Amino acid sequence: MHRFANPARFLRLSALIQPWAAAIAVACLAGGLYFALFASPADYQQGETVRIMYIHVPSAWMGLFCYTAMAVFSAMALIWKHPLADLMARASAPVGAAFTFICLVTGALWGKPMWGTWWVWDARLTSMLILLFLYLGYMALADAFDDPERGQKAAAILALVGVVNVPIIKWSVDWWNTLHQPASVVKMGGPSIDSTMMVPLILMAVGFKAYWVLVLILRTRAEIAAAKVRTLRMAQIHAAGQVEQA
Amino acid sequence: MTRKRRRLYFVVLGLLAVGTAAALVLSALRQDIVFFFSPSEIVEAKVPTEGRRIRLGGLVEQGSVVKDGASVKFRVTDGAHVVPVVYAGLLPDLFREGQGVVTEGKLGKDGVFQAAEVLAKHDENYMPKEVADSLKKSGHWQDEKKVDKP
């Protein structure tokens, strides 16, 4: 793992991965949306509204996945001081926040026709809202200091403390009774979802993951470039100062 | 011990401490985090119901729904106990006999639950109608008798 913490190696490797991630994201999302909207059956209870699931559930998974990734990167940055880990944690946050937001909005749109309410304060919904606030807090804290390194350190600690929320979200529907139904896919005894509905769900989930890889690469490259520009500027200012002195 | 090693232990211990604290808080608040009470808890008076607005959750008992003008009567069951419910208002689309339901309201002195709001709770099974029909025909249909126990 430490081998990949080298920015030059990251740039080489990411240039190789980037087109593949883009291709997989486009192919899976196009195929997934076709299956989700046209080529999959309506649910026996919920009818056509079940199609919201193909956006809602992969978004929720992404919300949890990006946060976990962010926490792992933050731990690596705190413990081993990898310069790249900080950048990648920062790069993950907006993606995860966006997917969490999509999950909450589509959940409300789905809840109104099925449950009869946009929102309830049950354990699953509330813990998911807390996840969104953790993302927003992380991003705000990381930018709240003049010295980027101090902001990064404070934000990394926040990310690690907030990671306790991830298992709470996952098992909230098992630990407490909630209005939200229990897990359908990742659970004991195998998924309780028909294979014709599993296909679009998995395609969308893979597409979202590939999209995350792509955005992570783009954003990290941009951060590396920004860091280089900063160093060059500093050198320029330094040189100018020396000329004046001479 | 190197500084890296020390930071690693610090992070791991910190996570353990935060996790333990969260577990303790959540288990202490258990009664407040559950979204609804089951008919058993209400009938056996395990929860304070006197004059309090509470939520009751379970399955709508088969054959118990009686529409009476603008109001509707039904019974909520968890297999062990049953609570009768009266409600005047719009029911959600998914409300039907044998399906999960969460109602919010007050328990009357006569033991009838006066609901102010009725929400449908659906299960975690997703399948096309044809599959559901063939499961029912072949006798492999599992009626949802199971209700979440808090």
Determine the pLDDT at residue B150.
Answer: 40
| pTM for this entry | 0.88
Mean pLDDT across A175-187: 87
**How far from A84 is each of A22, A27, A71, A140, A218, CA to CA, in Å?**
22, 29, 14, 20, 13
CB contact under 8 A, B122 and A196: no
Mean pLDDT across A31-53: 89
Question: DSSP letters along chain A, please?
Answer: -GGGG-HHHHHHHHHHHHHHHHHHHHHHHHHHHHIIIIISPPBTTTBGGGGGHHHHHHHHHHHHHHHHHHHHHHHHHHHH--HHHHHHHHHHHHHHHHHHHHHHHHHHHHHHHHTS-S----HHHHHHHHHHHHHHHHHHHHTSSSSHHHHHHHHHHHHHHHTTHHHHHHHHHHHS--SSPPPSSSSTTS--B-HHHHHHHHHHHHHHHHHHHHHHHHHHHHHHHHHHHHHHHHHHHHHHHHHHH-
For A206-226, what is each residue's pLDDT tens digit? 999 999 999 999 999 998 888
Does A161 reach chain B within 8 Å, measured CB to CB? Answer: yes
Domain-located, residue A122: yes
pLDDT tier at A69, thresholds 50, 70, 90: very high
Domain-located, residue A225: no
| Interface probe, candidates B127, B144, B149, chain A, greatest A C-beta count within 10 A | B127
Domain that holds residue A87: 22-185+194-213
pLDDT tier at B145, thresholds 50, 70, 90: very low
Give the chain A residue nearest B127 (alpha carbons): A194
Domain-located, residue A13: no
Token readout for A108 is: 């409300």
pLDDT tier at B124, thresholds 50, 70, 90: confident
Residues facing residue B73 across a β-bridge: B66, B86
B35-128 belongs to which CATH class?
A: mainly beta
For B4-16, what is each residue's pLDDT tens digit? 888 999 899 999 9
- Identify all chain B residues contacting A46, using CB atoms and an 8 Å cutoff: 94, 122, 126
List of residues 6+ apart from A31 with CB closer than 8 A: A203
Mean pLDDT across B37-54: 83
B126 is in an annotated binding site: yes
Is the per-residue pLDDT at B122 higher than 90? no
Is the per-residue pLDDT at A146 higher than 60? yes
pLDDT tier at A92, thresholds 50, 70, 90: very high
Give the chain B residue nearest A76 (alpha carbons): B8
CB contact under 8 A, B150 and A176: yes
In angstroms, the CA B114 to CA A22 distance is: 55
Smallest Cα distance from B107 to chain A, Å: 20
Cβ-Cβ pairs closer than 8 A, A with B, add up to 123
Domain-located, residue A205: yes
For B68-110, what is each residue's pLDDT tens digit? 888 899 999 988 899 999 998 888 888 888 889 999 999 888 8
Domain-located, residue A242: no
For A11-33, what is each residue's pLDDT tens digit? 888 999 999 999 999 999 999 99
Does A79 reach chain B within 8 Å, measured CB to CB? Answer: yes
CB contact under 8 A, B128 and A176: no
What is the rounded average pLDDT for all residues in chain B?
A: 84
Domain-located, residue A81: yes
User: Does ipTM exceed 0.85?
Assistant: no
Query: Tell me, what CATH number does A137's domain have?
Result: 1.20.120
Residue B86 is given by DSSP the state E
| Percentage of chain A exceeding pLDDT 90 | 58
pLDDT tier at B144, thresholds 50, 70, 90: very low
- Identify all chain A residues contacting B119, using CB atoms and an 8 Å cutoff: 115-117, 120, 179
CB contact under 8 A, A79 and B4: yes
pLDDT tier at B149, thresholds 50, 70, 90: very low
Token readout for A208 is: 């979202």
**How many distinct structural domains can be found in chain A?**
1
Domain-located, residue A9: no
Give the chain B residue nearest A183 (alpha carbons): B124
Domain-located, residue A3: no
Mean pLDDT across B23-33: 87
Determine the pLDDT at residue A71.
Answer: 96
Determine the pLDDT at residue A33.
Answer: 93
CB contact under 8 A, B126 and A181: no
- Residue A179: which of B119, B125, B132 has the nearest Cβ? B119
